[in-house]
Structure formats: C-alpha cells, structure tokens
Copies of this chain bind each other. A is one copy, B any other.
C-alpha cells in the first residue's frame, strides 16, 4: 500500500511542567508515528485518528484512558468522541468505565451510524455509563477491571486533592484540575478529514458527568468539502468541559478557518466565541485550547493551526512525506495571564491527494460508508 496523509495530535491545553516536557513530546511523537503508519498502509482518517488517540490514552501522562483523573469516588470514567468529516457521522461515549480505549468505542459508534436497524430504530450516536460498557463488550472492545485504569500518578493526585479539600474546603486552586484532554485531527489520501478527542474529565468530578469530549460540536468537529469549492476543516479542543460545551468551541473553531485567512479567523474565534463569549460571562478564567486544520483537496495543501488561552499546549504533527513528526510545546507569552488572552499559531502542510471519484456521502448507501471507498 502507498497511502498518504497528515496527522496532528495534542496531549492537552493546560500546564505542562518543565520536568515532564520531554515525556509529553515523546508521547505525541509516538502517536503521530503510529497514525502515519496507518495512513501509509492505506488506512483512512478515522482509523488514523483512533490509532493516534489509543497511543495517547495508553500513556499514564495524559488525562485520557489509562491514568485518567479520578472522580469524587475514586473511579475512572472516560469521555471520547470521533467525527468523520466525509459522512458527518459522530460517535461518542460518556462517563464510561472499564473500557481500556474509549476512543475505539467512539469509533465503533461512529461507524455503526450507517447501519439499518430493525423496526426503523436509529443506531445510537451517544452512549453513556454502564450501557456504553455493555455495548463495548458486545463489540469485542477490550474491557478491563476499572482499577487497572488507575495510574500511580492519577491515584497520587486524587489523594492529594482529597486531602487539600479536607483542609481548605473552600479553596479555589485551578491547578488541581489538569486540563489535559487529548485529541487528534487527520487528512487521508482521499482528502477525508476526521477528528477525535478523549478525556478523563476533571479531577473529583461527580459520577456520571459528561464533558465536551462526548458532546456534539464541543470536543470534535470535521467537515469535508462537499463540492470542493470550500476547504475541508477539522478541530479538536481541550480545556474545561462545561465551558467548551457552552461555547461549542470545536465547531466554532473549525468554521472560523473558512475565512480568507484561517489564522485571523481563529484569532477572531477565540476572541468572540471564547474570551468574550456571552456564554462565559460568569467565568473569571477562560481556559481552552484547540488544534485545527484546513485542507484544500484541489491542490493537496493545507494549514495546521492551534491556539490556547492556557499556559501551555503540547502538540505534534507530521505528513506521511516527513521522516519524523515535529513535537512542540506552545507557550502563552510570559506576561500574559492564562485565561485572559489567546496565542494562535500555524504551519502549512501538503498531502498528495488521490481524490475519491464519488463522495459517498452524497448518496444513501447501506455499505460501510466510513471512509473505506
């Protein structure tokens, strides 16, 4: 096989300590490499996004899958979602336990959107809690004992938070809520875009809480140009789940890249739809980040963009044409207070395109329509 594509990942917008910087970058590096392999072997954008996020989930450093923040009762409950820009299907699981890779469950839900069920029933796009776990089990997705998903680091953090809470029950210290939701966006050989996100949620969250990584329009967005007149766009977000839900940052980010200058579009989006959003009128610190791309399938060229109002954001990206991924930590300028301003950057990229002769999403089909053309 000789597939092409571009993959970008992030392991959170938040605060990455200097001592762990290299580890975070390495995690992004491996995720990019694994996803690029999938693309080179002819895998599609959805599969590459899944693979990248599996690597991020498996790392004990990130707040996703293994090593997720623990809930109030000391449990791991994960959110994850995936959106296919070609079919516009969305699959998400929320507050799910025991599933080793929540992103695989989200992918399955996304793919199954094409199925015809008996009695006119529609396949679910969002499954939560125990029902989500049962569905995963039936689909043959790996199920583990929940305590196996707790890393030493997340357990230490949990104990620390609980102790703090006991001592200063009204203290407000945002540092105890690491905002390291992970995400990935991708363009494949056929110019199909996809986006995925996975999160362990906020530390000490209430059982059953669902965050942006399982909410439509908030954690992920991916729309492929229907007529090739507009570019395709994809985005994934990180930050405080409730605030990202209210501002639907993924959708707004992706749409902002359709403006003449995507970087100016993204800057404006952060200002209007996040920092000055009426939906965050009562939020003193607006903490969020986004990783996004815009791709023109006519010429096989695109732009990767990222922006965040948090202290740092750790991202990695590579095209299948590159030998190795580039992994960086993006910083807010030194004098800027987190939550008050956004820093926005971008990079161009290329993908040799093998355009699909017919965009399958223009015709109703019972076949697997998740990008395998």
Contact = CB atoms under 8 A, between A and B. Distances in A.
A95 interface: yes
Contacts of A364: 281-282, 284
Interface stretch (A36-44, A116-124, A143-151, A190-198): A116-124
A264 B175 CA distance: 49
Contacts of A325: none
Contact of A206 (B94, B116, B127, B282): B127
Closest 7 CB pairs of A and B: A131-B208, A129-B129, A131-B207, A120-B174, A128-B128, A124-B209, A126-B210
B208 A130 contact: yes
A172 interface: yes
23 contacts: A88-B279, A94-B210, A120-B176, A121-B177, A122-B202, A122-B241, A124-B209, A124-B242, A125-B245, A125-B246, A127-B209, A127-B210, A128-B209, A131-B206, A131-B209, A134-B208, A210-B210, A216-B218, A216-B246, A281-B361, A281-B364, A282-B361, A282-B365
Interface stretch (A1-9, A161-169, A180-188): A161-169
A135 interface: yes
Contacts of A216: 215-218, 245-246, 248
Of A128, A165, A215, A240, chain B has the most CB atoms within 10 Å of the CB of: A128
Given A242-B124, A246-B90, A171 B119 contact: yes
A215 to B, nearest CB: 6
A271 interface: no
Q: How large is the interface on A (under 10, 10 to 19, 20 to 34, 35 or more residues)?
A: 35 or more
B128 A208 contact: yes
A95 B129 contact: yes
Interface string A24-52: 00000000000000000000000000000
A116 B365 contact: no
A77 to B, nearest CB: 8
A202 B124 CA distance: 10
A113 to B, nearest CB: 8
Contacts of A95: 128-129, 131
A191 B242 CA distance: 26
Contacts of A128: 94-95, 128-129, 208-210
A164 B208 contact: no
A320 interface: no
Given A95-B128, A131-B207, 12 more contacts: A77-B131, A87-B282, A114-B282, A118-B169, A119-B172, A120-B174, A121-B177, A130-B130, A134-B208, A281-B364, A282-B364, A282-B369
A120 B282 contact: no
Contacts of A243: 122
B218 A118 contact: no
A159 interface: no
B282 A121 contact: no
A11 interface: no
Of A169, A210, A218, chain B has the most CB atoms within 10 Å of the CB of: A210
